[in-house]
Each structure stands twice: as structure tokens, then as C-alpha cells.
Amino acid sequence: MSMMPILQATSLHKSYLSGERHIEVLRGVDLVVAAGESVSIRGESGSGKSTLLNLLSGLDAPDSGELRWEGEASLTPVRRGRLLGLVFQAFYLVPELDAEANVLLAARLVGKVGEPERARARELLRRVGLAERAQHVPAKLSGGERQRVAIARALMNRPRLILADEPTGNLDEGSGDAIIDLLLSLGREEGCALVLVTHNAAHAARCARRLFLREGGFHAA
């Protein structure tokens, strides 16, 4: 395995204009995520957790600072789709597609879909416990089941890093615990790193490294 970190963020600054006020959300955040590592980021509402995750996923650009993904500073949409697996609080499944097609969508967006990809999608659904519900559309699935489909989708392209933004925020406690179990175990099995943004201390404690975001920077949790 390469010793190069999967993700390296150096001195990230990000601010927003709220009316005439300039709000500096991130003030020089540094973060290095090694291959296979699990990192949790906690923080209060408005502390900049989601903002940071948007920067780490390349969906948003920092005002200053540097980001490198596997040593490269650029992240095209297709490279993002292959390198990163994204899990959101609101699942964001496509309602017109069934569970299997939602998982396969991640592969479609970055390349072609053939039998190996279909087999992997079915295998991932089996591993998240939804083999029997592969042909069900999201409207027929519970919140926990939808998030499992979203996790399977995030793993579809064998990413090197999963970025999960409050994946249990819309779930009850039992379902939330199960989702965190799934994320950690599948991440380990697939050999990919995990950055978990959460405000649940118990879930954060399950990660190998725990960070707390406050006043625009990391503090020990």
C-alpha cells in the first residue's frame, strides 16, 4: 500500500458573507487522512463540519489553503466519483430508480456498466442486508434501508475514502448504530478510509481518530 495520504488538507480557510457580516467558518484547518484510517469529526451546529466536508470532497473550494487527493491538487468530477464515496444525511437516492439501479448509478456516472458492475452492486446490497429488496424503489424502503443503499452506492466504485456527512442524522438510534457498524465494517473490508462527520459522541468514538471542530479549527475531542 502506498504511504501517500489519501487526503491532505493544509491551512484551509473558508468564510461566508451573511448580510454585511463576514463569517469565517474555517480558520486554517489541517487534516491528513491515511489509507484505511477512520476519522470522526464532531462539532456543534454551525461549527463548519459540513462546510469542511464539502471542501474535502472537492464540491466547494477553500478561500485559501491547499487540498491534495492522493497527492494531486485537482479533482475532476469523474476522479471524485472514483476516488471518493459520499454518504449524506438525507440519503439522496434517485426516486425513479430501484435500489440496485441506485447503487449502479455511481458506476454509470464514471464509466460503463457491465455484468461485473451489476454483480458488485448485487453483492454490496447483499452485504448491507438488502439482497431481497434490490428491485424496490426508495419510496418502498425505510429510512435505515435507504441509507444502506446509499452506503452501497458510496462503495460501488471501490473508493479510497468515504466522506459521510451525518449519515445517522435522519435515523432512530437503533438504525443509526447499525449504519455506523456497517460503514466501519465495510470500510475495513474494502480497505478504504472514512471521514465521519457527526454530532453523536458514541458514533464518533467508534473511529480510530476523533477530532472536534470549534471556532474554525480542530481541537482534541
Partner 1 sequence: MSWPIYLALKQLFPTGRRFPFFTFISILGVALGVTLLIVSISVMGGFGREIRTMIVHTQGEVQVRAAGLMENPGAVMDAVKTVRGVVAATPFAEGVVMIKRDRQPAFPAIQGVDMDRVDEVVPLRRYIIAGDFEDLDDDRVILSSQLAISIGARIGDTVMVYSPLLLEKLQADEVLMPRELEVCGIFEIGHQQLDSSVVIVTLRTMQELYGLGRAVHGVNVRLAPGADPDRVAREINRVLPVNGFAKSWMDANSEFLFVLQLEKNMIFFLLLFIIVVAAFSVASSLLIAVVRKTREIGLLGALGASPRQVAACFCYQGIIIGVTGTALGLALGFTVVHFRNHLVAGFTRLTGSQEALERFYQFSQLPAHLSGKDLALIVCSALVVSTLAGLLPAWRAAKLKPVEALRSE
Q: Contact positions toward partner 1, by CB under 8 A?
A: 54, 57, 59-60, 77-78, 80-82, 86, 88, 90, 92, 94-98, 101, 105-106, 108-110, 135, 137, 140, 153
| Cβ closest to partner 1, residue 14 vs residue 206 | 14
Closest CA to 33 of 159, 182, 149: 159
Give me the least distance between CB of 29 and partner 1, in Å please.
17
Question: CB-wise, 37 or 98, nearer to partner 1?
Answer: 98
Q: Is residue 149 within 8 Å of residue 101, measured between CB atoms?
A: no
User: What would the DSSP string read from start to end of 39-66?
Assistant: EEEEE-TTSSHHHHHHHHTTSS--SEEE
Instruction: Give the shortest CB-155-to-partner 1 separation in angstroms.
Output: 13
> In terms of CB distance, is 98 or 145 closer to partner 1?
98
d(CA 45, CA 212): 12
CB of 153 to partner 1, least distance (A): 8
Site of grid cell 426508495: 138
Q: How far is the CB of 120 from partner 1 (least distance, A)?
A: 16
Nearer to partner 1, 71 or 111 (CB): 111
Q: Residue 193 is inside which H or E element, if any?
A: strand 193-197
Q: Which amino acid is at 16?
A: Y
Q: Which is nearer to partner 1, 42 or 82 (CB)?
A: 82
CB of 164 to partner 1, least distance (A): 13
Closest listed residue to residue 198, CA positions, set 160, 188, 221, 215: 221
From the CB of 188, what's the least distance to partner 1, in Å? 23
Quick one: cell of 78?
469523474
Q: Which is nearer to partner 1, 83 or 194 (CB)?
A: 83
Q: What is the DSSP letter of 80?
A: H
Query: What is the radius of gyration, based on Cα positions, of the chain?
Result: 17
